[in-house]
Every structure is written in structure tokens, then in C-alpha cells.
Amino acid sequence: MLAKRIKLFKVFGFEVGIDPSWVVLAILVAWSLSMGFFPARYEDLPAGTYWLMGIVGTLGLFFSIVFHEISHSLVGRRYGIGMRGITLFIFGGVAEMGEEPPNPRAEFVMAIAGPLSSVLIGLVFYAVYLLLFNVRQPGPVAGVLMYLAMINGLLAAFNLMPAFPLDGGRMLRSVLWGWKKDLRWATRIASRIGSGFAMLLIILGVFQFFGGNFIGGMWWFLIGMFLRGAARSSYEQLLLRRALEGEPVERFMNTEPVAVKRSTSVEHLVEDYVYRYHYKMFPVVEDTGRLVGCVTTKQVKDVPREEWGRKKVEEISTPCSDENVIGPQADAMKALSLMTRTGASRLLVAAGDRLVGVLALKDMLKFLSLKVELEEA
């Protein structure tokens, strides 16, 4: 769902990062606050003051979303759920879970923690606004505080919508899960409701757009499209996790991997391996079969063409690491998470220093497709 994120800082042990799309959102929010929202409500202020209000308001929104997601993460950690971190992206933020909640109660409490935290921080902003400023003659600081109180209220209200994967949708899923004792069925129903809600937002966006509200219509349309995709992908991720969890890597690996001897020339590597098998990464082994490294097409490109015949694979290969090697007894979900994080489509499978196989993403997906097809039937 998310592109490669930019790491920012850690708080309570959770790594906070931003998707590159958040930069787009930050610019749009700061611009709309500085040029539209604040000038319409607080007249006759200098242009620089409006821009300062817009920037501070955007930073306050950033803080509010992080606070919301940290609340989810803290509750999730209390219930033993592996929380990978928090990522902010163009439509908000997400607390990344390494697994599904253990039971409906954990799901409900974790989901409701976010909206409750937004209500709490919104009330704090509003209380400071009332205590420190004359509400009849609000200044720039009071204006920003009032905006942050309002936006947190809206954030809570929007997230309480019963549309999966919003917090309200997760609360609905927890109720359905507790009723039927079937997480997969509950996720399917909640996802369908989420898709229906997303379609309403898309239709609303189209009507607003053709009604003259171009900016509002565009945002409703984009949010609807995002929610529709998120609802579908959330159900698919559950199917994937259920299908692969507990399955060892050795079940999917190719036990006859194509390996390159360290004495092989780069030219031989390109002609007889890369062009023949179309892989971008090959394990490098000794004559005894011991795994000694990896060689990639990227490393080949760094070698001048006229030196391919003289250079050996051992001269350009690099040692293998936890980024591209996994054990045969490791959980397949761990392997899939590693592939997702690194962008690799193949992993080497090694027992100690012995190469025993290669795991390909396409083989795991074939298994998933067959299992889902048979179980749905």
C-alpha cells in the first residue's frame, strides 16, 4: 500500500516515518490554510502571518496524526501485537501491524483508541484556546488552536465511520468476529461495507466536482478511491497471511537452485546465466557447495564491458546477508515480509553455510491462488 518511507524519529520504541506522498499533502494543507482557511476567518492580517499560521497548523496536524497512530500502537503492543512502526502518507497515517489482533476485544480496544485520542487532544487544544485567549477577539495563535481542535474532532468523526479499514470499520469487524467467531468472514463483510462507503465518497466527489466545488470534489473522489483499494487489499492481506502463516519456507523453495562458481568469468555469468535464466541475482558457491556470496546484474553493470572476460565473479560478488538469505524452517510470512521490505522477488535458502534452495515470490503466489480458490469453493 505504501511506497518506500522516509524514517524520521522514534517515540515509545515505534519508528515514525513518512511516505513521500505526505510531502504533497503537507504542501497542499499549508497552502490551503494560508491562502483560504485562515484569511477567510481572520481578516486584515499580514500575508506572512497567514503563512506562519498555515505552517504551524500543518505541523499541528502532523502531530495530531502521529498521536492518533501512537495510541493504536501502544494498545496493540499491550495486547502482544507486533507493531512495526507508524507511517504518514497522503491520506493520513497507519500503525503497521505485523499480525492480526489475537481476539475481537483486542481489535475493538485498539481501534477505538485512535478516535478517543483525537477527541482528547482536540479538547486539550480547545481548553487552551478558552483559557488563554479572548474568544471575541481571537488572534493568530488562538486561530491555530481552534483549527487544531476542530481538525482533531473531524479526524475522530471520520475514522469512526463503519468502513473498513477505518477505525470504525475495524470496530465493526471486531463485533462481527465476536458474533460468528470467524475472522475471515468478518473481514470480508467489513471490507464490502468499506468498499460501499468508498463508492459513496466517489459519487459525492463527482457531484461536487461538476457542481463547481473542484477542490472538494477532487479530494472526496481521491479519498474514496483510496478507501476502496485499501478495503480490498486488507481482505487480500488477511487471506495471504492465513494461507502462509505456519508454512515453512522449504515447502515453496526450489531445491535445485541455479548457482554460480566463484571462478566463473563475468562474461560467462552474463551469457550462460543472466541471459539464459533471466534472474537478477545468483548465489555464488565454492566447488564444495558452500555459499560464499551473491552476485547481481547491478554489480555486473559496474564492470566495463571490455573487462568482462578478465574479471571473475568472486571479484564483484558481495557477502550474503539477512536481507537476501533465509532459513528453510523460517515462516513463509517472514519471507514474504522480507521480500516486501527489500523489493526482492527471490531469496536464497541456506542451512548454515550450505545453499539448499531458492525461494521465488511467484511460487508462493501460485500456492496462495490455488489455496484460496479451493477454500472459496
Residue 150: pLDDT above 60? yes
Residue 241: pLDDT above 80? no
Q: Which residues of 271-293 are buried (b: 16+ CB within 10 A; e: fewer)?
A: eebbeeeebebbbbbeeeeebbb
The pLDDT value recorded for residue 372 is 66
The pLDDT value recorded for residue 138 is 64
E-strand stretches of the chain: 6-11, 14-18, 83-89, 92-97, 260-261, 281-285, 291-296, 325-326, 346-351, 354-360
d(CA 146, CA 152): 10
Quick one: three-class SS letters along the chain?
CCCCCEEEEEECCEEEEECCHHHHHHHHHHHHHHHHHHHHHCCCCCHHHHHHHHHHHHHHHHHHHHHHHHHHHHHHHHCCCCEEEEEEECCEEEEEECCCCCCHHHHHHHHHHHHHHHHHHHHHHHHHHHHHCCCCCCCHHHHHHHHHHHHHHHHHHHHCCCCCCCHHHHHHHHHHHHHHCCHHHHHHHHHHHHHHHHHHHHHHHHHHHHCCCHHHHHHHHHHHHHHHHHHHHHHHHHHHHHHHCCCEHHHCCECCCCCEECCCEHHHHHHHHHHHHCCCEEEEECCCCEEEEEEEHHHHHCCCHHHCCCCEHHHHCECCCCCCEECCCCEHHHHHHHHHHHCCCEEEEEECCEEEEEEEHHHHHHHHHHHHHHHHC
The pLDDT value recorded for residue 90 is 59
Confidence of residue 89 (pLDDT cuts 50, 70, 90): low
In this predicted model, what pLDDT tens digit does every residue of 283-302 receive, in sequence order? 888 877 788 888 888 888 98
Q: Which CATH architecture has domain 249-376?
A: Roll (3.10)
Residue 376: pLDDT above 60? no
Residue with cell 526450489: 254
Omega within 30 of 0 (cis) for the link into 165: yes
**Alpha carbon separation from 251 to 21, 99, 254, 358 (Å, rounded):** 38, 21, 9, 11
Of 141, 127, 2, which is closest to residue 60 (Cα–Cα)? Answer: 141
Please tell me whether the overall predicted TM-score, pTM, comes out greater than 0.75 for this model.
no
**The C-alpha cell that represents 110 in the structure block:** 485498539
The pLDDT value recorded for residue 2 is 44
Mean pLDDT of 303-321: 87
Mean pLDDT of 223-248: 78
Residue 121: pLDDT above 90? yes
Residue 10: pLDDT above 90? no
Instruction: Count CB atoms within 10 A of the CB of residue 303.
Output: 16
d(CA 215, CA 234): 28
In this predicted model, what pLDDT tens digit does every residue of 325-365 receive, in sequence order? 888 888 887 888 777 767 778 888 888 888 888 888 888 87
- Quote the mean pLDDT of the chain: 83
Residue 51: pLDDT above 60? yes
**Residues 6+ away with beta carbon under 8 Å from 63:** none
Pick the more confident residue, 46 or 4.
Answer: 46
Residue spans of the domains in the chain: they are 6-244, 249-376
The pLDDT value recorded for residue 1 is 42
Confidence of residue 281 (pLDDT cuts 50, 70, 90): confident
Mean pLDDT of 67-92: 79
Of 311, 304, 299, 302, which is closest to residue 268 (Cα–Cα)? Answer: 311
The pLDDT value recorded for residue 69 is 87
Mean pLDDT of 129-146: 77
Confidence of residue 3 (pLDDT cuts 50, 70, 90): very low
E-strand stretches of 14-161: 14-18, 83-89, 92-97
Pick the more confident residue, 136 or 201.
Answer: 201
| DSSP at 306 | G
In this predicted model, what pLDDT tens digit does every residue of 185-213 receive, in sequence order? 888 888 888 888 889 988 988 888 888 77
Pick the more confident residue, 11 or 325.
Answer: 325
Of 44-48, 83-87, 340-344, give the range with the top mean pLDDT.
44-48
d(CA 337, CA 199): 30
